[in-house]
Amino acid sequence: MAAITPLPFAIGMLLALGLFVALTWFLVNESRRPVHWPEPVRDDPHVSHPRVAVICVLFALWSLWATARPVSGWR
């Protein structure tokens, strides 16, 4: 049986993590732009931009942890 190295998986994970960080940074910066819509802006309470970034990163880390851990019931 051929041996499988984890190198391609690790490279893919690093690229995906880099892409995720870049897109999160882009979305946070885009959310700071003023809105010029014709309808009036409502005074809804909103979540701060750094908090949104932290939530996205925590969700990504939790998702990676949940998919990487072994499932005890499967063989």
pLDDT tens sequence across 12-53? 888 988 998 898 888 888 777 666 656 666 666 666 778 788
> Model-level pTM greater than 0.85?
no
Q: What is the average pLDDT across 64-69? A: 77
Torsional sign, CA 31, 36, 38, 40: positive
DSSP character at residue 73: T
Least confident of 20-24, 57-61, 66-70: 66-70
Look at phi and psi of residue 41 and say left if phi exceeds 0, alpha if psi is from -120 to 50, else beta.
beta
State the CB neighbour count (10 A cutoff) for residue 47.
10
Question: Average pLDDT for residues 53-70, to the nearest whole number?
Answer: 81
Whether 28 contacts 49, CB under 8 Å: yes
Q: Nearest 5 degrees, angle CA 28-CA 34-CA 38?
A: 130
